Structure 1
Amino acid sequence: MYDWIVVGGGITGISLSYELQKAGFSVLLIEQHQQLQGGSSLGYGGISYWAGTTLVTQQLCQEGIARQRELSNELEMDTEFRDIDLLLTIEPDADPQEILSQYASCWIAPTLLNAKEACDREPLLNPKGIGGALLFPHGHINLDSFVSAHSQAIQKLGGEIIYTKVDSLLIEGDRLVGVRTEQGEFRSNQVVVCAGAMSRSLLKTSGIRSRIYYTHAEAIDTEPSDLELRAMVMPADTKRYQLEGATTNIDQDSIWDIAGHELLPPSVDAGAIQFCDRRIRFGQLSRVLTDPYAAIDPIQSEATIRKQVSKILPKIAALKGKWRNCLVAFSSDNLPLVGSLKEYENLHLFSGFTSPTVYVPALSRRFAAYVKGQPDDIIPLLSPQRFSQQ
């Protein structure tokens, strides 16, 4: 019998498992894949700590970046944390001042650059493909290294990790007592689901509805390149966020449980990041498909990504690379779902993070302290039950 079973070993589950184990609980982390497969596997690893627009999100941004800066030393393994420039490119026909105004409420204000200034910062940018850029201070980690470092630390503290698929929640009478997996049943006092986009379907097997949604994200990974991308590049007008905001109407929530629907046309946010080992990841194409296992044509997708990225970063778009895809979870109000579900008080959700690299480390530590009895003014605000009146 464990104190906690954590379902899902991506950035959310691995971070929360570590903090729970460090807080003195006995933890079993169950992850289906030994190699990252979900949203953590294809993320850029950027830490947008500048982006908080409310007192709550600004507080979490401050805590999140502070936590990321100290984790390599604490975990005794390098997460490849570094400070880098973030350049949010502005389309040639867009009004720079109007774009700038969209970021007016951010915790850290951006610097508006014209096209020449942006290209001075990042020479791989195409000066004819942009009308300028917003410059932000940014953090960056390697998500694989982040997960590996936490995995090692969890086990050093006595926590357990097994790789198997969780088929369903284990319910006896009116009580949740653990989970049922391909390797058998595992029992615990508390269960927390950190399965990202797959959290919705896992909970649904037990008749539990959750306001978790997902996009199919696609990008291209290259081998180590002689090109040097100095900054992380993304568009200032991020289409994925607009797409997410248009797909979570409560009146249409049930359509997410019916496979085969494409709720909106796909969109591409042209950008790229280079990792410390000189590999480059560029994309990103997003689709809103209600089937998490939907078949996608990689040849067509790759061509679409390359066409859009070539307008901004032509040399990068020409690099050979491997098309990859995953699911990216989000909630209907852009805040994560953290806390117990109304159906069972010992069943918790820790998912729906739009900005996991900044929010997850802070909220993992807060959550572990909260369930140990320490009052918290933020965790209750993120409860999945906040949607129960809608």
Structure 2
Amino acid sequence: MSVTLPARADVVIVGGGIIGCSIAYHLTKLGIRDVVLLERRQLTCGTTWHAAGLIGQLRASRNMTELAKYTSELLYELERETGQSTGFKQNGSVSVALNEERFHEMKRGASMAKMFGLSVDVIGPAEIKAKYPLLSLDGVVGGVFLPKDGQANPVDVTQAYAKGARMGGARVVEGIEVERILLEGGRAVGVVTEQGELRADTVVLAAGMWSRTLGKAAGVSLPLHAAEHFYIVTEGIAAVPRDLPVLRVPDECAYYKEDAGKMLVGAFEPVAKPWGMKGIPKDFAFDSLPPDMDHFEPILERAIGRLPILADAGIQTWFNGPESFTPDDRYLLGETAEVRDLFVACGFNSIGIQSSGGVGKVLAEWIRDRHPPMDLADVDVRRMQPFQSNAGYLRDRTTETLGLLYAMHWPFYQVTSARGARRSPFHDRLVAAGACMGEMSGWERPNWFGAPASTPAYAYSWQRQNWFANTAAECLAVRDRVALFDQASFAKFLVEGADALALLDRVSANRIDVAAGRVVYTQWLNARGGIEADLTITRLAETRFLVVTSGSAQTRDRAWLQGQVPDGARVTITDITSGLPMLGLMGPRSRELMGRLTGQDMGNDAFPFATSREVEIGYATVRASRITYVGELGWELYVPAEFAVHVFDRIVAAGAEFGLGHAGYHAMNACRMEKAYRHWGHDIGGEDDPVAAGLGFAVAWDKPGGFVGRDALLRRREQGTPTRRLVQFRLADDRPSLHHEEPVWRDGVIVGSTTSGMYGHRIGASLGMGYVHNPDGVTAEWLASGRFEIEVAWERHEAVAQLKPFYDPAGARIRG
């Protein structure tokens, strides 16, 4: 039956899987009813129909957990509202550890779950057996039980979303293929289908595996790649209880689900099989891929050992179906950096069913308000770099990312696939000096340096890892002598033009109208006062500015700034990251070394803190900025790429006299923790304002013209002492390691959680940072009057809490 499409809609959604249907449903709940969802074949025909349907709630952060919790809460209501069954049952889940390191990881997760308000129990082998009597306890150390987890039927849930959307006024149209996204003036204004154009104010791309191709045609980078995903379904087994919880045995890469007396056994194997390297066929619908018994057999053999009842069970289905994965195993959500009014929701890495309700809700609100309703930086599509859509890169990375879902989530883990994509000019020299390279947004960066003649490599653990002493030596070089950091991965934008100052002064919370040659530390805020970026701006000349931000925020921060440019403004923004690598020269002897290198007076009077100017090193002209992220006297050196190695060699040669050492990013992280320097994406983000984050010193409250977010900040300041503050923690016992999302207790009550953590080698303590709450205000007196503990893996550890940094709180070393 032919369908006539309308000429326009408020929102058009491309893709009729569970995510697209959830978005349509939630848009109508917000009163946005002029919605058209287009599915090329039939609803669920891509990936949704063959998903396992596991509904877990605990994720790696509070907001991601909130989205999953909302999904499980919604499914009962959705069934009552629409009359369409969802197949949801809240039978709980058991995760089993086969070694102490895995059990430690699970207990850390259980502590997080408790803090997030989830029901959770840490259980031993006997309790595991009671909950899952079919399980062999061979090698079982312990586990975690989440009673509110469950399972659902993905097809039924999708149909319920679709029915609810139709009831709310949306049109859900099957059998209409979208050929391309319609663009005008850098905005998405509709789609082109086989029936012609359908114009819309907003376009949502939720086309699963096909999203990358549709995005690429619109000039949008969507890094995702399909991989084969295997499971079996047995024939009915009379002895299988019908109330079994979902079972996960990640050390054996397997999950188990009882369904109507049958057992589904699936896997996330360490070496996966990418699929669709030549593109996803347009006619692929309700299809499966050829089974690969040799590939799945090792998983099945271990599964039979773990569930002996499987040994005599007949196998009804050997299933192999494709699912899409992203380079970091987190999905892609939000408005794209390249095209305005184009939103995406794709790359769900096998958690699309459990994410569907929360994702539909927050994306619908994002579309309505044109800003996210909560901090969604973890999944924001703008975190990705354009090169990550490279087909070869995605193919190689996907072999690893599928398996990482069930691999140990070690702290400081470094991916092993698709490495070497982005290298600084100093790379080979750093490797020769003993660097153990890590990866960040494709950049190869020195995380730590091994001893001479060693082969530096990670030995992962939840305790102190094998590089602990190496990083300690690097931190002491920073404290006592001078150290060299490769900071080439930091993103750099040149902003210039007659309106450059007006733009940056309005976007920045701090005052940017300073003399040329000054460096300003500032935040960019949203209209609600939340922190969108944390960076420095150097005024180079009257109409030229250098913006420096973290490498991971390269795409996001440029898109944010570009989105603030008024129509007709005389300003250009150029990404010069590749052409201007940066070195950090940090430590008390950096002044002597800089004097030797430049032949200039580098003293306080001649070169004050936050000053930037050009100097000569060797045959090169280098911009030297006296600023630091490690809390010591030091300079950031911006070197034109063609001179980079020459300058590096001159520094190393001259530095021997001053005890110059190399230092990596683990040392930088340790030093910044001691100084309580915030890290965007961990300690500060879109829901955190400068007052709560302790960054009020970087706010120019009364600068002429104000700034974006000023009104919201003033309202918060008028409310008096903040009830939520970012606080520094020091454990009394220096052995436990803090990372993030550990619960913070005060006098026996959870009052917050950590945002980041690291061992501080300059002061010899395990440190953390995190937000705490008090209805009567978080003050130094309140912190001092309570007994603080931080929970690590189900155990509490005494801590000291304070507002000031633990190292050099007055900042004397920086300005010395």
TM-score after normalising by structure 1: 0.79
Q: Deviations over 1:272-292 (max 9, x none)?
A: 1123x4443211245241635
What one-letter code is carried by the residue in structure 2 that aligns with 1:313? L
Residue in structure 1 matched with residue 675 of structure 2 by the alignment:
none
Q: State the shift of 1:15 in Å.
A: 0.5
SS at match of 2:92: strand
Residue in structure 2 matched with residue 73 of structure 1 by the alignment:
80
What one-letter code is carried by the residue in structure 2 that aligns with 1:136? L
Q: Deviations over 1:357-387 (max 9, x none)?
A: 4433123123223322386541663432233
| Larger proportion of helix | 1
- Say which of 228, 244, 249 aligns to 2:241: 228
Matched, 1:100 2:106: yes
Matched, 1:343 2:338: yes
Structure 1: segments with no counterpart, 5+ residues? 238-267
Q: 1:222 to 1:170 in 2, by over 3 A?
A: farther
Residue in structure 2 matched with residue 269 of structure 1 by the alignment:
253
Matched, 1:126 2:132: no
Matched, 1:46 2:51: no
Structure 1: how far apart are the matches of 2:19 and 2:221? 20
Structure 2: how far apart are the matches of 1:32 and 1:385? 27
User: How many percent of aligned residue pairs carry the same amino acid?
Assistant: 23
SS at match of 2:229: strand
Structure 2: how far apart are the matches of 1:182 and 1:75? 32
What one-letter code is carried by the residue in structure 2 that aligns with 1:387? M
Q: State the shift of 1:163 in Å.
A: 2.5
Structure 2: how far apart are the matches of 1:164 and 1:224? 39
Matched, 1:217 2:200: no
Structure 2: how far apart are the matches of 1:280 and 1:356? 21
- Say which of 357, 366, 370 aligns to 2:366: 370
Structure 1: how far apart are the matches of 2:139 and 2:40? 42
Q: How many residues align?
A: 357
SS at match of 1:82: coil
Instruction: Map residues 275-294 of structure 1 onto 2, 5 A cutoff.
Output: 275=259, 277-286=260-269, 287-289=272-274, 291=276
SS at match of 2:77: helix
Q: 1:96 to 1:216 in 2, by over 3 A?
A: closer
Instruction: Map residues 151-162 of structure 1 onto 2, 5 A cutoff.
Output: 151-158=162-169, 159-162=171-174
Matched, 1:384 2:369: no
Q: Deviations over 1:280-305 (max 9, x none)?
A: 32112452416356975433345344
Q: 1:305 to 1:200 in 2, by over 3 A?
A: same
What one-letter code is carried by the residue in structure 1 that aligns with 2:94? L
Q: 1:188 to 1:324 in 2, by over 3 A?
A: farther
Q: Deviations over 1:81-138 (max 9, x none)?
A: 22112111222x5556434344243334743333333222112212336444322221
Structure 2: how far apart are the matches of 1:221 and 1:134? 25
- Say which of 175, 180, 195 aligns to 1:168: 180
Structure 2: how far apart are the matches of 1:73 and 1:372? 26
Residue in structure 2 matched with residue 319 of structure 1 by the alignment:
314
RMSD after superposition: 3.1
Q: 1:225 to 1:154 in 2, by over 3 A?
A: farther
Q: State the shift of 1:325 in Å.
A: 2.5
Matched, 1:57 2:40: no
What one-letter code is carried by the residue in structure 2 that aligns with 1:337? L
Contact 1:133 1:236 in 2 (8 A): no
Worse-matched range after superposition: 69-78 or 97-106: 97-106
Q: Deviations over 1:230-255 (max 9, x none)?
A: 12111244xxxxxxxxxxxxxxxxxx
Structure 2: how far apart are the matches of 1:225 and 1:73? 31
Worse-matched range after superposition: 1-10 or 360-369: 360-369
Larger RCO: 1 or 2 (CA < 8 Å, sep 6+): 1
What one-letter code is carried by the residue in structure 1 that aligns with 2:83? E
Structure 1: how far apart are the matches of 2:132 and 2:384? 43
Structure 1: how far apart are the matches of 2:364 and 2:155? 23
Q: 1:86 to 1:189 in 2, by over 3 A?
A: same
Matched, 1:12 2:23: no
Residue in structure 1 matched with residue 323 of structure 2 by the alignment:
328
What one-letter code is carried by the residue in structure 2 that aligns with 1:289? P
SS at match of 1:105: helix
Q: State the shift of 1:12 in Å.
A: 0.7
- Say which of 184, 206, 213 aligns to 1:194: 206
Structure 2: how far apart are the matches of 1:143 and 1:270? 20
Instruction: Map residues 140-155 of structure 1 onto 2, 5 A cutoff.
Output: 140-155=151-166
What one-letter code is carried by the residue in structure 2 that aligns with 1:233? L
Structure 1: how far apart are the matches of 2:298 and 2:194? 38
Q: 1:310 to 1:37 in 2, by over 3 A?
A: farther
Structure 2: segments with no counterpart, 5+ residues? 1-7, 281-288, 386-553, 556-816
SS at match of 1:34: coil
Structure 2: how far apart are the matches of 1:102 and 1:73? 36
SS at match of 2:150: strand
SS at match of 2:180: strand
What one-letter code is carried by the residue in structure 2 that aligns with 1:291? G
Q: 1:310 to 1:223 in 2, by over 3 A?
A: closer
Contact 2:42 2:174 in 1 (8 A): no
Residue in structure 1 matched with residue 192 of structure 2 by the alignment:
180
Structure exhibiting the larger radius of gyration computed from Cα positions: 2
- Say which of 273, 280, 303 aligns to 2:297: 303
Q: 1:376 to 1:202 in 2, by over 3 A?
A: closer
Q: State the shift of 1:214 in Å.
A: 4.3
Contact 2:291 2:318 in 1 (8 A): no
Contact 1:124 1:313 in 2 (8 A): yes
Q: 1:211 to 1:302 in 2, by over 3 A?
A: closer
What one-letter code is carried by the residue in structure 1 that aligns with 2:131? R
Q: State the shift of 1:47 in Å.
A: 2.0
Q: Deviations over 1:203-245 (max 9, x none)?
A: 12333212334432111234554333512111244xxxxxxxx
Contact 1:96 1:132 in 2 (8 A): no
Contact 1:339 1:379 in 2 (8 A): no
Contact 1:6 1:193 in 2 (8 A): yes
SS at match of 2:305: helix
Worse-matched range after superposition: 178-187 or 346-355: 178-187
Q: State the shift of 1:194 in Å.
A: 1.0
Q: 1:181 to 1:327 in 2, by over 3 A?
A: farther
What one-letter code is carried by the residue in structure 2 that aligns with 1:128? D
Structure 2: how far apart are the matches of 1:96 and 1:24? 46
- Say which of 88, 112, 124 aligns to 1:114: 124
Structure 2: how far apart are the matches of 1:145 and 1:217? 21
SS at match of 2:221: coil
